[in-house]
Structure 1
Amino acid sequence: MKTPRRNEHEQPPVVTGHDARVKLLERNKRPAVPLRHTFVQRPSEETPRHGPLCEFVRNGDLRGLRAYLVVVAASGGERAEDGWTTELDSMVWARLFDTDQHTGPRGARAAAQRILDRLQDRGLIHRARSARGSRQIAVTLLREDGSGKPYDRPDGGDTADRFLRLPVVFWNERFDARLSLPAMTMLLVLLKERRWSAFPPDKMPDWYGISADTTQRGLKELNELGLVERRTRYKEAPLTPTGTTMLHQYALLGEMRPPKPGKRPIRQRDA
């Protein structure tokens, strides 16, 4: 029997970060990823109101925010008995975080570890190597409020346990790579709030710890991408020259629209 001649010109396929993220989401078999409201904004009785999200904005850390959402998508799909931990080779983490795009394996691994270090410093994860000299990195999800407390799956039972759901279309349709930091920030804010909410720019620093400029640029970009719609409403303001004040309200469109309030995230055993 003749041995098939090897094709000397055959090349291995190019695997991208997008490919890795899609495969990860397929493994978890969930239509949306649950994320506690406290990552975006703390309960009304707490001061200050803003959650860890604003730290990413203030530091211009788009790469860190994208990575954190991937970690939530990965670790949140693990079983509770595994401690909400995902263990992967550091090169796989690098691919998931897109740190392999413009550097070699060594630089990509180092960049991924720096991102994980930042997330750990913010009290959102714990990372550890599986063994001395190993390239396997175990990442354990912690509570979304940055307190460093152990993670558990949110069920919406009380104010501090309410959650938004980030649809997997966010990754599948590459919005994670397309959105700027202001747009991604406002997407999370919109997912957290009720449909047709208003976001007065002058109130956003107190409410969410983000600037008026970030708010306006983020909403504008989401609107241009067709992810939100805007409507104008008027309120009585008897002590103003016109007697009214105008405000804009926003709602998510299409597959980015959140499910009905109170709906629980899909558990692994239900998938």
Structure 2
Amino acid sequence: MKTTTVAMQDVQKNEATGRDTRAAILKRSIRANVPLRKTFVQANKGGDSRHGPLRDFVTGRDLRGLRAYLMIVAACSNGDKGWTTEHDSAVWARLMDIHETATSQSARTGAWRALRRLADRTLIECSRSGTKIKVTLLREDGTGKPYDRPKGETEEDRFLQIPTTFWTQGRDEKLSLPGLALFLVVARENEKDWASFPGDKADEWYGWSADTHERGLKQLVELGLVQKKPFKRKAPLAPAGFTIAHKYQRAPITKPRKAPVKKTAASATA
């Protein structure tokens, strides 16, 4: 009996985990950071609503779908295969960690259903043939337009960046849905050193409650993924003439990484 237990442990050690699978996809994409248009998080000013597609994940409590979508962006946005990636449904299930709590067949089914939800939101197109599932990335704003790599040259084309270490070091695995959503909100303001994210504006700006907003920020600070500092806000009707509010910025471990400088033949010789 003891021999069987040891043998099973050895087998499990050699099985790929969800993190292993995510790391392999990121390694294949050959990048230091993953670009994501800011309009996924929040629409630009001037429209009927500031809500981006991210709102539907939060209000629909779809953490699995959000994690899967971000990995699809990571896998497809290098453009090597025309914004498309294809894997066995078991690989998709492992990518989403579904295999940890479901049988093999149930995990495959769960992966397909999660991808179909993304297709219903017009963020991807997906099809399957046998056990293979093919996914093609669409534009992040949910309009269903074909995807193209953002270059940041126009307001509609501005993007945030997520370092690949966010996944390879397992930081995504620790976040709840509010935490992951607020991580994207804070990352959207990566052009600023510090920014305030008032909870009373959460519904208007992003489409979720102030409570969800505050819980997300609190978790990010507790995990060391975001930094927080207080500041005084003028308040003429307050007893002290001011109130204390807070500003936030990404911690160094979650800021975009600099791509390694490629050595030329001349520099290598020198």
TM-score, normalisation: structure 1? 0.87
SS at match of 2:114: helix
Task: Call closer, same or farther: CA 1:11–1:251 in 2, change over 3 Å.
Answer: closer
**Which residue number corresponds to residue 101 of structure 1?**
100
Higher mean C-alpha displacement, 154-163 vs 244-253: 244-253
Sequence identity, in percent?
Answer: 49
Give the count of matched residue pairs.
249
Q: Find the aligned partners of 2:257 and 2:75 in 1 and give their Cα distance.
A: 21
User: Which of 181, 188, 191 is the matching residue for 2:187?
Assistant: 191
Is the helix fraction higher in 1 or 2?
A: 2
Q: Find the aligned partners of 1:71 and 1:176 in 2 and give their Cα distance.
A: 14
Where structure 1 has 5 or more consecutive residues not aligned to the other structure, the ranges are 1-8, 267-271
What are the equivalent positions in structure 2 for 1:57-72 lying under 5 Å apart? 57-72=58-73
Q: Which residue identity lines up with residue 200 of structure 1 in the other structure?
A: P
What are the equivalent positions in structure 2 for 1:65-214 lying under 5 Å apart? 65-79=66-80, 82-129=81-128, 131=129, 134-193=130-189, 194-214=192-212
SS at match of 1:15: coil
SS at match of 2:119: helix
RMSD of aligned Cα (Å): 1.8
Q: Find the aligned partners of 2:98 and 2:79 in 1 and give their Cα distance.
A: 24
Task: Call closer, same or farther: CA 1:192–1:125 in 2, change over 3 Å.
Answer: same
**Which residue number corresponds to residue 53 of structure 1?**
54
Q: Which residue identity lines up with residue 61 of structure 1 in the other structure?
A: D
**Which residue number corresponds to residue 3 of structure 2?**
none
- Residues 7-48 of structure 1, C-alpha deviations (whole Å, 9 max, x = no match): xx5747211111110011111111110000000001011221
**Which residue number corresponds to residue 4 of structure 1?**
none
**Which residue number corresponds to residue 224 of structure 1?**
222
Task: Call closer, same or farther: CA 1:14–1:259 in 2, change over 3 Å.
Answer: closer
Q: Which residue identity lines up with residue 162 of structure 1 in the other structure?
A: R
**Which residue number corresponds to residue 241 of structure 2?**
243
**Which residue number corresponds to residue 4 of structure 2?**
none
SS at match of 2:248: strand
Q: Find the aligned partners of 1:122 and 1:148 in 2 and give their Cα distance.
A: 8
Higher mean C-alpha displacement, 118-127 vs 167-176: 167-176
SS at match of 1:46: coil
Q: CA deviation at 1:87?
A: 1.1
Q: CA deviation at 1:116?
A: 0.4
SS at match of 1:202: helix
**Which residue number corresponds to residue 31 of structure 1?**
32
Q: Which residue identity lines up with residue 84 of structure 1 in the other structure?
A: W
Q: Which residue identity lines up with residue 75 of structure 1 in the other structure?
A: C
Where structure 2 has 5 or more consecutive residues not aligned to the other structure, the ranges are 1-6, 261-270
- Residues 157-206 of structure 1, C-alpha deviations (whole Å, 9 max, x = no match): 11110000011111011112111111111100000013311011111110
SS at match of 1:203: helix
Q: CA deviation at 1:244?
A: 2.0
Task: Call closer, same or farther: CA 1:160–1:171 in 2, change over 3 Å.
Answer: same
8 Å Cα contact 2:163-2:257 kept in structure 1: no
8 Å Cα contact 2:77-2:149 kept in structure 1: yes
Q: Find the aligned partners of 1:126 and 1:231 in 2 and give their Cα distance.
A: 42
Q: CA deviation at 1:257?
A: 2.0
8 Å Cα contact 1:191-1:258 kept in structure 2: no
Higher mean C-alpha displacement, 98-107 vs 49-58: 98-107
**Which residue number corresponds to residue 20 of structure 1?**
21
Q: Find the aligned partners of 2:248 and 2:91 in 1 and give their Cα distance.
A: 37
Q: Find the aligned partners of 2:164 and 2:175 in 1 and give their Cα distance.
A: 15
Q: CA deviation at 1:239?
A: 4.2
